[in-house]
């Protein structure tokens, strides 16, 4: 099995080289949603835009939970690589497949049984109910492929290989663009066509990843009595991944709640929030990439007894992503209309979306700190703490503040959007307090041992 260790060499170079393919893969993956909105916005109607925007929030929720749970796989594999115990990797992969097979079946059954209730709960605009339902239905049928893609990414990243997923996503993205143009622009299928194109692209990506795994012979099960699953291994993966999954899921729920709150104000508000969420989803990919890469970097280096190398990696990630945040804050706050016009040229929609983007732009400065610290502590296997701070920011701050601001007359997307950076400020404070607490505890332990 090929080993791509992050425990040696120049720290900055190693981290950046590992992060860049993750970033490009995330960019291409996000391009699925961007392209859907871009094509729907230009060849469909406003109801299609709202349907894709609202429906994609639900799918983002499931994907976030899946990605968070898969972090347990990434950390477990990263630890094995750091310790040089590569024989422990195939069981991790096998049990990961078992976990996500069960999870996919549960999600599909739940959504298909209660899809009408979900549409109501999402407070979907009446004019976009059909489009939203069609989008969710098609994407639900594709959940196994959506989950499989995220599993593949977690496996490769844990091994220190961030290039293979990039290649697979790149090919799939080309397919997604082609299918979007054929189904939406050519056959006028609107939101349904966007969903079919996205699921088909994910399926292609999974097939490519499987072919690459077989080509590299990474799954070499040498035991003649190979067990289908190992309950202890499953518990370990869930122990590490479940807190991140819950955090990611509830953070997505908080943004879904924002969608629900905003949808009551009509189609323009709904479409505006959907467009800005897609746009900021691209902007925030840099800190997200560092979060994912730091989890693996820290996991491998801590396992190799190099905690100081892990801390230096954190500082490099913080500085790099924060500089990018400053640049994007300026563009989003002062020239946001140029970014929004790329998706839609409706004057009413643009003027509404700009207000939400201006408020959201403050979060672009803060999120690099939150994400990098989340990745660092996830790599340190402090996933329970990462979950708790994330839940507090989402449930105790973001949702109630959004609701309160939505009651302030006159209703403004700028005021509603301010709830997002406010929650990030609270999370940064929690991280700061935790860092001081753990450092003080370590100093006390050192003093005790030296006396």
Rounded to whole angstroms, how far apart are CA atoms 63 and 213? Answer: 22
What backbone torsions phi and psi does residue 70 show, to the nearest 5 degrees? -65, -15
Contact call for residues 293 and 15 (beta carbons, < 8 A) = yes
With H, G, I as helix, E, B as strand and everything else as coil, classify residue 49: helix
pLDDT at 414: 95
pTM: 0.77
The radius of gyration computed from the CA coordinates of the chain, to the nearest angstrom, equals 22
Q: Where are the alpha helices (DSSP H) in 84-128?
A: 89-113, 115-121
In sequence order, the 6+-apart residues with CB closer than 8 A to the CB of 37 are: 49, 52, 53, 274, 275, 278, 343
In sequence order, the 6+-apart residues with CB closer than 8 A to the CB of 331 are: 339
Contact call for residues 212 and 168 (beta carbons, < 8 A) = yes
pLDDT at 2: 46
Name which of 57, 59, 65, 70 is nearest 292 in CA terms.
70
Judged by average pLDDT, the poorest of 2-11, 386-395, 433-442 is 2-11
Mean pLDDT for the chain? Answer: 86
Please list, residue by residue across 410-436, b when 16 or more beta carbons sit within 10 angstroms of its beta carbon and e when fewer do.
eebbebbbbbbbbbbebbbebbeebee
pLDDT at 445: 53
Label residue 447 by pLDDT band (50, 70, 90): low
Contact call for residues 412 and 355 (beta carbons, < 8 A) = yes
pLDDT at 4: 56
Percent over 90 (pLDDT), the chain? 34
pLDDT at 353: 92
Label residue 267 by pLDDT band (50, 70, 90): confident
pLDDT at 223: 52
Cα 295 from chain centroid?
14
Region label for 2, one of left (φ > 0), alpha (ψ between -120 and 50) or beta (otherwise): beta
Percent over 70 (pLDDT), the chain? 92
Q: When comparing pLDDT for 120 and 64, which is higher?
A: 120
The structure tokens 């999954």 sit at 245
Q: What is the mean pLDDT of residues 378-391?
A: 88
Asked if the model's pLDDT at residue 316 lies above 90, the reply is: yes
Rounded to whole angstroms, how far apart are CA atoms 269 and 259? Answer: 9
Helices 11-43 + 307-341 axis angle, to 10:
20
Sketch the domain layout of the chain as residue ranges: 11-220+227-450
pLDDT at 47: 87
Helix and strand counts by DSSP (H, E) for the chain: 17, 0
Q: What is the mean pLDDT of residues 19-42?
A: 80
Q: Show the tokens assigned to 232.
A: 């202890």
Rounded to whole angstroms, how far apart are CA atoms 302 and 141? Answer: 40
Rounded to whole angstroms, how far apart are CA atoms 199 and 205? Answer: 10
pLDDT at 173: 85
Rounded to whole angstroms, how far apart are CA atoms 366 and 364? Answer: 6
pLDDT at 1: 43
Name which of 119, 142, 120, 121 is nearest 132 in CA terms.
119
Asked if the model's pLDDT at residue 260 lies above 70, the reply is: yes
Q: Show the tokens assigned to 260.
A: 């629900």
Nearest 5°: the CA angle 267, 268, 269 is: 95
Region label for 78, one of left (φ > 0), alpha (ψ between -120 and 50) or beta (otherwise): alpha
Asked if the model's pLDDT at residue 141 lies above 90, the reply is: yes
Q: Tens digit of pLDDT for each residue in 228-242?
A: 778 888 888 888 888
Asked if the model's pLDDT at residue 284 lies above 80, the reply is: yes
Q: What secondary structure letter does DSSP report for 411?
A: P
pLDDT at 5: 65
Nearest 5°: the CA angle 158, 160, 161 is: 105
pLDDT at 134: 94
Helices 231-263 + 399-406 axis angle, to 10:
10
CB atoms within 10 A of CB 349: 22
What backbone torsions phi and psi does residue 159 show, to the nearest 5 degrees? -75, -10
Q: Tens digit of pLDDT for each residue in 334-372?
A: 988 888 888 777 888 889 999 999 999 999 999 999 999
Q: Tens digit of pLDDT for each residue in 192-220?
A: 999 999 899 889 888 888 887 776 655 45
Q: Tens digit of pLDDT for each residue in 55-106?
A: 887 887 888 788 888 888 988 888 888 888 777 888 888 899 999 999 999 9
Q: When comparing pLDDT for 383 and 444, which is higher?
A: 383
CA count, 13 A, side-chain hemisphere, 123: 14
């Amino acid at each position: 099995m090929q080993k791509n260790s992050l425990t040696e060499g120049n720290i900055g170079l190693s981290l950046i080289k590992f992060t860049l393919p993750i970033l490009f893969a995330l960019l291409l993956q996000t391009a699925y949603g961007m392209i859907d909105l871009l094509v729907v916005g230009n060849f469909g109607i406003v109801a299609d835009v709202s349907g894709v925007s609202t429906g994609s929030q639900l799918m983002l929720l499931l994907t976030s939970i899946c990605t968070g749970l898969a972090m347990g796989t990434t950390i477990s594999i990263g630890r094995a690589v750091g310790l040089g115990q590569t024989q422990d990797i195939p069981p991790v992969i096998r049990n990961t497949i078992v976990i996500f097979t069960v999870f996919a079946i549960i999600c599909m059954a739940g959504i298909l049984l209660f899809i009408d209730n979900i549409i109501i709960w999402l407070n979907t605009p009446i004019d976009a109910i059909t489009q939203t339902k069609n989008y969710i239905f098609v994407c639900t049928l594709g959940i196994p492929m959506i989950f499989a893609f995220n599993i593949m990414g977690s496996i490769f990243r844990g091994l220190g290989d961030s290039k293979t997923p990039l290649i697979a996503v790149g090919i799939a993205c080309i397919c997604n663009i082609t299918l979007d143009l054929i189904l939406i622009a050519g056959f006028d299928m609107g939101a349904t066509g966007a969903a079919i194109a996205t699921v088909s692209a994910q399926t292609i990506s999974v097939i490519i990843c499987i072919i690459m795994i077989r080509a590299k012979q990474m799954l070499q099960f040498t035991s003649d009595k190979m067990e289908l699953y190992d309950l202890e291994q499953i518990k370990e993966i869930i122990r590490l991944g479940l807190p991140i999954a819950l955090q990611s899921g509830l953070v997505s729920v908080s943004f879904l709640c924002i969608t629900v709150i905003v949808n009551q104000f009509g189609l323009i508000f709904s479409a505006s929030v959907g467009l800005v969420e897609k746009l900021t989803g691209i902007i925030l990919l840099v800190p997200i990439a560092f979060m994912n890469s730091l989890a693996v970097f820290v996991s491998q280096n801590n396992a190799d007894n190099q905690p100081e190398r892990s801390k230096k990696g954190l500082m490099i990630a913080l500085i790099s992503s924060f500089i990018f945040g400053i640049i994007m804050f300026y563009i989003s706050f002062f020239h946001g209309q140029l970014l929004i016009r790329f998706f839609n040229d409706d004057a009413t929609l643009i003027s509404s979306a700009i207000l939400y983007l201006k408020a959201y732009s403050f979060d672009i400065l803060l999120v690099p700190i939150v994400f990098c610290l989340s990745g660092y502590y996830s790599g340190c296997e402090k996933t329970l703490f990462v979950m708790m701070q994330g839940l507090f920011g989402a449930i105790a701050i973001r949702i109630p503040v959004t609701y309160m601001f939505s009651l302030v007359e006159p209703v403004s997307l700028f005021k509603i959007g301010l709830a997002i950076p406010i929650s990030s400020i609270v999370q940064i404070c929690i991280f700061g307090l935790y860092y001081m607490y753990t450092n003080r505890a370590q100093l006390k332990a050192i003093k005790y041992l030296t006396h």
